[in-house]
A = this chain, B = another copy of it.
């Protein structure tokens, strides 16, 4: 029954032989690996202005400067990553580069930052996608959380079924989104320069404007810059995906990095410029039913509210954001499986399920993302401050690793390469510190705590697995043959299932005793009578249980046997009913499992289950 439900939900198993990767051209590879990065254009500008307005309306005037600074940072990071792509043609994610060059601890920190970042990617992308939907269809606003959770479950389910990501699946929405944004920006530029516009009116939640005016302006400036740095999320994906490009792989990957930067900077500059000319900007919190995304306000102004262009932009935005979340569902389980294979995460995360996907990783990511959006009620503006801390930590470690890499290699032009990656490492490192400081109280502290906990966790798991391997190592092991056995059959009452267990015990060529634990003395005579009538060839021991526990007297009896003769193995035979219908399960007790758990450190005890059948 559960097997059948599983089959319907997830589909038939897929053999390992069918695992293969399609090689992607530059045109198709770009959207597959850059959809996450491109999608941040949907919320980066909004993130900046939402912070500035908290200081004062006048502060909004520094938005262009911040946008330009972030574009410069984008260029530095992309140039830096181009070198990574060439140096690691087999894929150079932060964990791999850090492990390769910086040692275990930085690698583990990079891995933790990435894992947490993937969870945030899902949460932020879905929240932003839902925000885009809600901006187009305001009637959906009351269902904010439900939509968030629903989309995550949908993507999780698609990935558990083994969704094959095809280049085409990404190409349409990604290029559609970019095209839509470009058209909006071009039309917008004409529109704002043709008309004589009134001065801008900014509306926001009561008390929001100027609520942080007590803070120094410089701090607010840095905080807005940090907020805008969400524009850089997703850049790392291309460096992970190098081997998926058609040869020459590294060249194509580097080219797609340049295209990504070009498109992203154009969209970011364009929206950042246009927003200054909107006659009215509303900057409500996501929780406010009047909330609309900044991009949707631009689209409504350029194409007209309820126009085809408006809805097209909104749907393209929602789609690319959902694809971005989907990317995390491919990346998180892959990284988790690498970590599990290296012993940093529990082994089941390394196991591919029968649909050829790392199902445990997918489930873990889905559950964490749902927990996150539930906790933050699906509100984009609450989730955004958590984002980017992890990304910039991973950037910094990866770029520092590259510096070390060139220093070790000392190939052609290594000093220039060190200069490039060194600049990257320095800039991203400084930004990481700025983000952590300025967003600390808004939520960055949560990420700091989580990354630290995750890092310690990974190291602890690694240590544990290492210790297990050591303890089980065959080096110098001596084989100790098992001496003769003794068997105990647990007898709740005399019935057919118990008879099977007794016969099995006799077949072990061992000394067999049966053990009945009596909780109610009144039932003892009946057991004895049945025993005399039906069994009789094996001794029955009846022990009383003063505390009404079924297990404690069994354990005591085993202890006595082990004390008498510590070398002989005791096999405890537990008769167990086989339940063939799932709805009979609640009536079943798993005595064998309970006994196994209770055995604790007793050595030389084996638990055997003799199963009997019920219709």
| Chain A residues packing against B (C-beta within 8 Å) | 13-17, 346-348, 351-354, 356, 461, 464-465, 467-469, 471-474, 477, 479-485, 494-497, 499-500, 503-504, 506-509, 519, 530, 533-534, 546-549, 569, 571, 576-578, 580, 584, 586-587, 589, 592-593, 596, 599-601, 603, 605-615
Contacts and interface: CB of A to CB of B under 8 A. Distances in A.
Contacts of A609: 596, 606-608
Q: Tell me the number of copies of this protein.
A: 2
A273 to B, nearest CB: 48
21 contacts: A14-B547, A346-B586, A347-B587, A347-B589, A352-B548, A354-B547, A464-B584, A465-B587, A472-B497, A472-B612, A474-B495, A474-B534, A477-B499, A479-B499, A480-B503, A481-B503, A485-B507, A508-B509, A571-B608, A603-B613, A606-B608
A587 B482 contact: no
A534 B530 CA distance: 49
Given A473-B496, A507-B482, A467 B615 contact: yes
A348 B589 contact: yes
Nearest to A496: B472
Given A481-B507, A509-B509, 14 more contacts: A16-B519, A16-B548, A352-B548, A354-B548, A461-B587, A467-B614, A472-B496, A472-B614, A473-B496, A474-B496, A474-B530, A480-B503, A482-B507, A504-B569
A496 B471 contact: yes
A494 B482 contact: no
Contacts of A547: 13-16, 354
A473 B497 CA distance: 9
B503 A471 contact: no
B16 A546 contact: yes
A500 B569 CA distance: 11
Given A507-B483, A571-B608, A613 B601 contact: yes
Contacts of A479: 499, 503
A587 B463 CA distance: 12
Contacts of A587: 346-347, 461, 464-465
A468 to B, nearest CB: 6
A608 to B, nearest CB: 4
A335 to B, nearest CB: 19
B608 A608 contact: yes
Contacts of A499: 474, 477, 479
A495 B473 contact: yes
Contacts of A356: 548
Nearest to A576: B596
Contacts of A503: 479-482
Nearest to A568: B507
A475 to B, nearest CB: 10
A478 to B, nearest CB: 9
A507 B159 CA distance: 47
Contact of A548 (B351, B584, B607): B351
Contacts of A480: 503
A485 B509 CA distance: 11
B548 A606 contact: no
Among the interface residues A347, A472, A549, which one has the most CB atoms of the partner chain B within 10 A? A472
Contact of A508 (B506, B508, B546): B508
Contacts of A465: 587
Contacts of A467: 614-615
Nearest to A480: B503
Nearest to A520: B16
Nearest to A504: B482
Contacts of A610: 606
B506 A481 contact: yes
